[in-house]
Amino acid sequence: MSSLHTFLFVDSAALSHHLSGWKVCGGACPSAYGEMFLVATSKYLLALCYPDSEAALTDFQKYFMAKYHFSELFEDKDLIQGWSQRILEDDPLPILVSGTPFQLKVWRYLSTLPFGETTTYQKIARTIGHPDAARAVGSAVGANPVSLFLPCHRVLRKDGSLGGYRWGLQRKKQMLAAEGVF
């Protein structure tokens, strides 16, 4: 994936200001790693996930809408198809992510990881100034709303093992293999 993406990291309290007046849409589309579900406005990609079931999709939608204080996700197949095409073509994308100050520190770090390079939860914790917070880093990594672009699949345990992955270890292995890591 391109490293030319533009990230707008926004504290949760400021999110409504950035999305004021924008219609937030959700929809499914194909990807190299299975069907993905996107959440976006015409200006920003907000979330990307890989639900393996209707229940997982419903849980993600509920989580996303509660976190971002939306009453509904609109359906706009053309908008979602446009985002899907840009992702498939590896176009630079404007991505807005919102979280706690700690999550944003972790996600900023993830945004700097080069293609094909891995790191550990412990290294992230040390780098962001919280050396004893490897578990909290793991939680922030798992809460990443755009996992393909804030590459949480590149985060391994300190012993080099895969650890977990919100969207399944098989998918994590596929993503790392595509980057020549496994």
List for the chain the helix, strand, coil content (%; round to 5). Answer: 40, 20, 40
- Give the pLDDT score at 3: 58
Domain limits at 25? 6-96
Q: Which residue, 30, 63, 96, sits at the end of a domain?
A: 96
The mean pLDDT value for 126-154 works out to 94
Average of pLDDT values for 142-155?
A: 92
User: What's the chain's average pLDDT?
Assistant: 90
Tell me if residue 152 is catalytic: yes
What is the tens place of the pLDDT at every residue in 30-64? 898 999 999 999 999 999 999 888 898 888 888 88
Does 139 share its domain with 89? no
pLDDT at 2: 44
CATH code, 161:
1.10.10.10
Indicate whether 181 pLDDT > 60.
yes
Residue 103 scores a pLDDT above 90:
yes
- Element containing residue 13 per DSSP (H, E): none
- Per-residue pLDDT tens over the stretch 64-86: 888 777 777 888 999 999 999 99
Find the catalytic residue in 25, 29, 49, 152. Answer: 152
Short-list 50, 25, 19, 28, CA closest to 39: 25
